[in-house]
Amino acid sequence: MNKNDYIIRLETENDYREVENLAREAFWNLSVPGCDEHYFIHVMRSHEAFVRELGFVLEADEKIIGSIMYTKAKLADENGTEKPILSMGPLCIHPDYQRKGYSKVLLEHTFKKAMELGYDTVVNFGNPDNYVARGYKSCKKYNVCFEGDVFPAALLVKVLKDGALDGRKWFYHPNNADEPCGDTEAVAEFDKLFPPKEKAWQPSQEEFYIHSHYVINW
């Protein structure tokens, strides 16, 4: 992959279905049989937390093969002081183009844009393998946790500006943009708009379970 092989640009309305289909291809059977990320993207775009200026697609071979999205979230310290931050995701690269460095360029491109918009911290849930090379660290390293001092192993923090987090305890308050995904009937109805695909078990689902249930206690 070199710089002339791809274009990174903002998502437009004309891209919506292509991006949803891409997400479906990338996430299908990955965490659970089937997936809901295409529906998540669909509803996220009209949620108040969605950051349109950071919704980018990556084109290669004259099609969209990568997508990244961000929403607004916040951290709150023990005195109730709040800090606006970004939550990243979904991020996806078409299975035929994975492990070639495309997510790296999408992340680096959007980190720069996020800084230009005034953000200095990005938080997301994910498999650390995909993110540590991009400078993400365990939430524990930055003292970022959920209420109740819960430090999930999959809660990853990327600091865009040195010193953005000063060591005090921050509670992470995600937005509720993914709430509609709890409506499994709505997800199934939306999925009918796409070509049929078989739901199946695969080992990555167990990996996802382990990552998403693991909490750092020491």
**Residues lying near ligand COA in the complex (CB under 6 A):** 26-27, 30, 89-93, 98-104, 126, 130, 133
Whether 109 contacts 8, CB under 8 Å = yes
Minimum separation from the CB atom of position 154 to ligand COA (A):
10
**Which of 130/143 has CB closer to ligand COA?**
130
**Which of 76/211 has CB closer to ligand COA?**
211
**Which of 15/77 has CB closer to ligand COA?**
15
Q: Measuring CA to CA, which residue among 163, 64, 51 is closest to residue 113? A: 51
Tokens of 206: 């167990």
Whether 39 contacts 192, CB under 8 Å = no
Minimum separation from the CB atom of position 170 to ligand COA (A):
22
Minimum separation from the CB atom of position 86 to ligand COA (A):
14
For residue 145, give the 3-state DSSP assignment: strand
Minimum separation from the CB atom of position 205 to ligand COA (A):
12
**Which of 130/175 has CB closer to ligand COA?**
130
Minimum separation from the CB atom of position 211 to ligand COA (A):
10
Report the alpha-carbon distance of residue 194 to residue 184 in Å, rounded.
Answer: 16
**Which of 81/202 has CB closer to ligand COA?**
202
Which residue is nearest to ligand COA, using beta carbons? 103
Reported as type and span, the H/E element at residue 102 is helix 102-116
Instruction: List C-alpha distances in Å: 173 to 11, 114, 185.
Output: 26, 19, 27
| Upstream peptide bond of 90 is cis (omega within 30 degrees of 0) | yes
